[in-house]
């Protein structure tokens, strides 16, 4: 049977972490499953967890009056959902919903923040893994903003 | 070059603003040979002429297929042509996608929006000779689910499993269960050997620029990437200069270029 430590070590987010750091992460981790269409979190709620997707598909959505929920990004296997747990005031800035039945590892952000305060090496390791994701999403958002497929005259 | 008369046999709308039509020859010609990536000059009599990539199967030389986005007077007029109407055709022109260099390699076919049309002949050719290529990915991005081209064909391609087709849209409503995100996000989902791969990219220039960055991040060399450029082509044979891009003419030296050979020009803001 796969252990949580093994599952975590296999995920691209945690791959290559030192055993000690991995053990600290496992202490804040749990397996979780979302059914299709299940809401994972909503904008404004406390961001106490983030998710490493193992299988399935999640959508990041923004609700706009008159337009309803707009799907702005989907995330699949190997990707990370959420970084608001790391940035004060630790509130979600968007909604998240499972599009398909999805398996993930939930990491308790509060627990991790406390561990990172005590062990800055761990904090730096985690930042090195979160920041590239933030950078990729920022670049993608910029490209999305350009609306490149529109006819520009 | 004088346009040859061809006849509209079928025309259907792929999306709200993009249609495909099938043409057959009128003046005794029975075959039309072209290479994937080449374009024709299509002339709507009395309206004007525009360059349009051939989007059909190179193996089916008895008919000609083009996918057109109706954005100007000529292409709008083209979209309203009835079955049996004549159209002028000059071509084929320009350089082609490097199918021979792709043999034995993994292939990444990266398209954005209408950029899928010039790459569709590549897909046909790859499927016809599937065993001589490595892993093949079609990574395609569109604005919304309603803007996806060839919606009948894409699921068939995926079903055949001869190539892995990944589609994404820039934005979508809740009814869409596919991928949402820019086309560059699909590159990370493709399992290819960057040292033995060839990428063919077509789409808006800014999309190609971001795509190139992502491919380089994955370890691909710029001489393994080919892009198709678009400019205001008029004569199609390098005389008029309308499509001049630095020292090159897109109509004659392109539209398909190896990226490292044109990279320096793309970096200049006013060429």
Domains of chain A: 4-145 (2.60.120.10)
Q: Tell me the pLDDT band of B161, cut-offs 50, 70 and 90.
A: low
Alpha carbon of B204: minimum distance to chain A alpha carbons (Å): 6
pLDDT for B61 equals: 87
- Residue B13 pLDDT: 96
For range B13-23, the mean pLDDT: 96
Please tell me which residue of chain A has the smallest CA distance to B213.
A139
Which residues of B are less than 8 Å from A100 in CB distance?
A: 177
What is the tens place of the pLDDT at every residue in B211-221?
Answer: 999 999 999 99
Q: What's the pTM?
A: 0.90
Chain centroid to CA A91? 13
The whole-angstrom distance between residue A88's C-alpha and the CA centroid of its chain comes to 16
Q: Cβ of A150 and B143 within 8 Å?
A: yes
Q: Does A68 touch chain B (CB under 8 A)?
A: yes
- Record: contact B173-A70, CB cut-off 8 A: yes
Dist CA B201 CA B227 (whole Å): 5
pLDDT at B241: 81
Q: Please name the residue of chain B whose CA is at the shortest distance from the CA of residue A72.
A: B171
Kindly report which listed range (A14-18, B181-185, B240-244) carries the lowest average pLDDT score: B240-244
A3 touches chain B (CB under 8 A): no
State pLDDT tens for residues B77-111: 999 999 999 999 998 999 999 999 999 999 999 99
pLDDT of residue A153: 59
CA torsion through residues B16, B179, A38, A126, sign:
negative
Q: To the nearest 10°, the Cα dihedral for B180, B182, B185, B187?
A: 120
- Mean pLDDT value of segment B190-211: 94
Tens of each residue's pLDDT in chain A, 153 residues: 688 999 999 999 999 999 999 999 999 999 999 999 999 999 999 999 999 999 999 999 998 888 888 999 999 999 999 999 999 999 999 999 999 999 999 999 999 999 999 999 999 999 999 999 999 999 999 988 888 888 765
Mean pLDDT value of segment B25-36: 88
3-state secondary structure of B253: helix
Q: How far apart are CA B104 and CA A43, in angstroms?
A: 49
The more confidently predicted of residues B152 and A76 is A76
What's the whole-number average pLDDT of chain B?
91
Instruction: Provide the pLDDT for residue B232.
Output: 79
Q: How many other C-beta atoms lie within 10 A of the C-beta of residue B219?
A: 12
């Amino acid at each position: 049977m796969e252990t949580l430590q093994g599952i975590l070590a296999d995920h691209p987010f945690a791959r290559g972490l030192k055993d000690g750091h991995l053990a600290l992460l496992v202490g804040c981790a749990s397996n979780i499953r979302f059914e299709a269409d299940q809401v994972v979190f909503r904008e404004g709620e406390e961001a106490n967890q983030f998710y490493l997707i193992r299988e399935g598909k999640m959508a990041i959505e923004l609700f706009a009056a008159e337009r309803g929920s707009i799907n702005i990004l989907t995330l699949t296997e190997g990707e990370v959902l959420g970084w608001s747990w790391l940035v004060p005031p630790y509130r979600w800035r968007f909604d998240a919903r499972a599009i398909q039945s999805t398996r993930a590892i939930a990491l308790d952000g509060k627990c991790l923040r406390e561990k990172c305060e005590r062990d800055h090496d761990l904090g730096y390791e985690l930042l090195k893994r979160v920041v590239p994701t933030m950078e990729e999403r920022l670049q993608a958002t910029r490209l999305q903003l350009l609306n490149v497929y529109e006819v520009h005259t | 070059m004088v346009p040859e008369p061809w006849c509209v046999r079928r025309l259907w709308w792929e999306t709200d603003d993009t249609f495909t039509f099938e043409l057959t020859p009128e003046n005794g010609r029975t075959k039309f040979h072209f290479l994937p990536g080449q374009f024709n000059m299509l002339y709507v009599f009395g309206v004007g002429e525009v360059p349009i990539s051939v989007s059909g199967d190179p193996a089916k030389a008895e008919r000609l297929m083009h996918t057109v986005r109706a954005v100007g007077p000529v292409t709008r007029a083209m979209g309203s042509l009835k079955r049996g109407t004549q159209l002028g055709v000059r071509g084929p022109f320009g350089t082609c996608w490097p199918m021979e260099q792709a043999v034995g390699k993994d292939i990444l076919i990266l398209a954005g929006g209408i950029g899928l049309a010039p790459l569709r002949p590549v897909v046909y050719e790859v499927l016809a000779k599937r065993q001589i290529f490595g892993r093949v990915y079609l990574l395609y991005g569109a604005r919304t689910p309603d803007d996806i081209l060839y919606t009948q064909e894409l699921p068939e391609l995926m079903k055949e499993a001869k190539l892995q087709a990944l589609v994404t849209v820039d934005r979508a409503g809740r009814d869409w269960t596919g991928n949402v995100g820019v086309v560059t996000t699909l590159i990370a989902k493709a399992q290819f050997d960057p040292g033995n791969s060839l990428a063919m990219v077509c789409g808006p220039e800014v999309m190609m620029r971001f795509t190139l960055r992502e491919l380089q991040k994955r370890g691909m060399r710029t001489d393994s990437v080919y892009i198709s450029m678009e400019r205001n082509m008029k004569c199609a044979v390098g005389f008029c200069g309308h499509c001049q891009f630095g020292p090159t003419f897109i109509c004659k030296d392109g539209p398909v270029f190896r990226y490292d050979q044109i990279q320096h020009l793309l970096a200049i803001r006013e060429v």
